[in-house]
Amino acid sequence: MHTEPESKYNTWESNEDIQMFREYLRIPSVHPDVNYDECVEFLRRTAAHLDLPVAVLEIHPRKPIVIITWEGTEASLPSIVLNSHMDVVPVYADKWTYPPFSAHMDPEGRIYARGSQDMKCVGAQFLASIRALKNQGIRLKRTLHVLFVPDEEIGGTLGMKAFVGTEQFGKLNCGFAIDEAVASPDDTFMLFFGEKTRIVVNFIIPGTSGHGSLLLQETAGEKARKLIDRMMDYRNSQQERLDNDQELTVGDVTTVNLTMMSGGVQNNVIPPEFKISFDIRVAHDTSIDAFEAQLQKWCEESGGDIHIDYEQKDSLIELTKLDETNHFWMAFKAAVNEMGIAIRTHVCPGATDARFLRELGIPAVGFSPMNNTPTLLHDHDEFLHAETFLRGIEIYKKLITAVANA
Ligand code: ZN
């Protein structure tokens, strides 16, 4: 096994930014029922250390929104929001090599913790970048608001979604935002500029009921099978698109997954109804209306009388434009080019808090500076290498400076 010399390890261990990162990681802000008190206390202390004002908003009790502000020299200009969420997803602690809230650093410099990639790294790097810029005596034109929000991992309803509807959010006068992406296993960096549209649909399928020994016509089971076939055929068509085009990622196609099936009372009774649920994420090249009409048609072809109940149907949110109409992006891109790093731009396959900003027409990109790192968000043994973390601070310094001076 390759092990870094001890001197390197000691440098990482005594690094102020890495210490701050590991301290944040040790706070178990984990679902369900997160207690954010320790995060708020940690952020207040860190902001004080940076000599920056901090505001803590509780739109909903126990769901704090923390705003750390670095005022720009032209504070009347639209500001830059640097957003991260404080919560992390649950762990299967017995599957981890090191305790998931220990922030253990192994001899090679890998820091193990839930949240090390998703996304306490980003929040810590935003603050570390500001510290470095301030120490260099630099002042930026636009104001930076570093946001730390709750509950992203459970949909952000009482977090970012609630916050963007408040007067306080309006007062931030946000012009551009940076939020999260994911780690990239190769040399390139991943950047998200939009998200798909989520639809959760329940099909209520009625049918002829009776004794399990008969061959009754139009049973719920037969109808369900036909409908599932159509949904899965569509799923296959999307898989084929992915397989046949190297340029596409899962963010570019529609995903369809059967997530729940219920019904029946006893194994010799043909039930009068089955319910099946699908989680669908519609790609940007597909019209939502046309997709819904297709679902309706498949229901009719599967035997009729099938009721469609939309448990969730998000509205279409425009992608953030990555062209010359977006001067923040042009500044961002110029900084990327200057650093000589390679970025892959994609539609995010899942959902992040950035969608609430895009919904207001605010351009937002997801960018977590982690390359050559296995994608371990929500997985066991989530880790980030100390070197990757430190390089990320350098990258953010350049990007933040560019967009704040745009
Ligand atoms: Zn996240």
User: pLDDT by residue for the chain (406 residues), tens digit each?
Assistant: 566 667 899 999 999 999 999 999 999 999 999 999 999 999 999 999 999 999 999 999 999 999 999 999 999 999 999 999 999 999 999 999 999 999 999 999 999 999 999 999 999 999 999 999 999 999 999 999 999 999 999 999 999 999 999 999 999 999 999 999 999 999 999 999 999 999 999 999 999 999 999 999 999 999 999 999 999 999 999 999 999 999 899 999 999 999 999 999 999 999 999 999 999 999 999 999 999 999 999 999 999 999 999 999 988 999 999 999 999 999 999 999 999 999 999 999 989 999 999 999 999 999 999 999 999 999 999 999 999 999 999 999 999 999 999 9
**On the CB side of 95, how many CA atoms lie within 13 Å of its CA?**
9
* Domain presence at residue 91: yes
- Concatenating the DSSP letter of every residue in 323-379 gives STT-HHHHHHHHHHHHHT--EEEEEESS--THHHHHTTT--EEEE----SS---TTS
* Domain presence at residue 360: no
C-alpha 297 to ligand 1 mean position (Å): 37
Give the H or E element holding residue 256.
strand 255-263
The Cα–Cα gap between 122 and 115 comes to 10
Residues 166 and 284 in one domain: no
C-alpha 274 to ligand 1 mean position (Å): 35
The Cα–Cα gap between 349 and 198 comes to 10
The Cα–Cα gap between 374 and 47 comes to 31
* Domain presence at residue 339: no
Final residue in a domain of this structure, among 294, 313, 332: 313
| Structural domain for 131, as ranges | 4-180+368-404
Contacts of 105 (CB under 8 A, 6+ apart): 9, 12, 13, 18, 22, 111, 112, 386
The Cα–Cα gap between 190 and 341 comes to 11
C-alpha 314 to ligand 1 mean position (Å): 19
* Domain presence at residue 129: yes
Final residue in a domain of this structure, among 291, 313, 335: 313
* Domain presence at residue 345: no
* Domain presence at residue 172: yes
The Cα–Cα gap between 36 and 44 comes to 12
C-alpha 195 to ligand 1 mean position (Å): 14
Residues 21 and 166 in one domain: yes
Residues 143 and 241 in one domain: no
Residues 153 and 206 in one domain: no
C-alpha 153 to ligand 1 mean position (Å): 7
Residues 30 and 174 in one domain: yes
C-alpha 17 to ligand 1 mean position (Å): 21
Catalytic residue positions? Answer: 87, 152
**How many domains does the chain contain in total?**
2
Tokens representing residue 353 in the block: 């808090």
Residues 18 and 153 in one domain: yes
* Domain presence at residue 157: yes
The domain that holds 210 is classified in CATH as 3.30.70.360
Residues 32 and 99 in one domain: yes
Rg, Å, the chain Cα set: 24
Residues 20 and 147 in one domain: yes
C-alpha 120 to ligand 1 mean position (Å): 9
pTM of structure = 0.90
Residues 33 and 166 in one domain: yes
Residues 84 and 111 in one domain: yes
Tokens representing residue 341 in the block: 């790093």
C-alpha 225 to ligand 1 mean position (Å): 36
The domain that holds 27 is classified in CATH as 3.40.630.10
Identify any residues that bridge with 88 across adjacent strands, giving them in sequence order.
30
Residues 159 and 215 in one domain: no
pLDDT score recorded for residue 7 = 85
**On the CB side of 187, how many CA atoms lie within 13 Å of its CA?**
3
Final residue in a domain of this structure, among 313, 329, 348: 313
Residues 208 and 266 in one domain: yes
* Domain presence at residue 36: yes
